[in-house]
Amino acid sequence: MTADLWRQCLTLWEAVETVERDVSRPDHISWKGAESGAYSAKSTYEMLCHGSIRWSMSRPVWGSFSPMKCKIFAWLALRYRLWTSDRRARHGLQEHPDVCYTCLQGEDSVDHVFVLCPYARQVWCRILHSAGLRMADPGGTGNLQRWWTEARKRVRRIDRKRFDSMVISTAWTIWKQRNARAFANERGQKTVDQMVIQIRDDFHMWEKAKRGGRLEIARE
């Protein structure tokens, strides 16, 4: 027993002596992670995350009614974790980034594939118009997260979950189209009109599985 250990023992002893005990009441265990005192896994995870930095896109991504694989995809896209050629070049997996497989103009990067590519901008314009939304496509900002954050503020709160799901559906379809062209899958290559139809079909299928409805979204 060192002097520091003796000091800790004495501190604990003094703390216990200050507790007012009621010998008539039985002892019980109370979990400090919940107001009710009852333990739950949810309260434990909340304690683990307490004080962590919250991501502004958590609600738009994880709160949508998109399939889980699409939510994970959207999270990876917004965090620049997709394996585009520019990322492969940074990790030394290839010497130089490839050009965009869709337009053959810009560099194959996350920002270009989803918002700067002329093909993707046409898809965004068509899908926003078909949804009844009069707003600019993401290409004006050059960043999907920045555009998504500002655009959803112009949508009614009741429709924001549907809007988020529509954005994920559009980005997911654009990414699949990019892969179809990157791997020379001729059957998977589609025109802009076919892309819009595919996005609407996927959206309606997701929404039907959740609660049903139409794609029209009203602005505030």
- 108-141: pLDDT as tens digits: 999 999 999 999 999 999 999 998 888 999 988 8
In the chain, % of residues over pLDDT 90: 59
Q: Quote the pTM value.
A: 0.74
Cα separation, 167 vs 144, whole angstroms: 10
Mean pLDDT, the chain, integer: 88
Instruction: Report the C-alpha gap between 101 and 184 in whole angstroms.
Output: 10
Shortest CA distance to 125 belongs to which of 112, 113, 139?
139
50-54, 84-88, 132-136, 160-164: segment of lowest average pLDDT: 50-54
How sure is the predictor about 30, in pLDDT bands with cuts at 50, 70 and 90? confident
- Report whether pLDDT(7) > 90: yes
Per-residue pLDDT at 215 exceeds 60: no
Domains of the chain, by residue range, sit at 58-210
Q: In which band, very low, low, confident or very high, does the pLDDT at 220 lie, cut at 50, 70 and 90? A: low
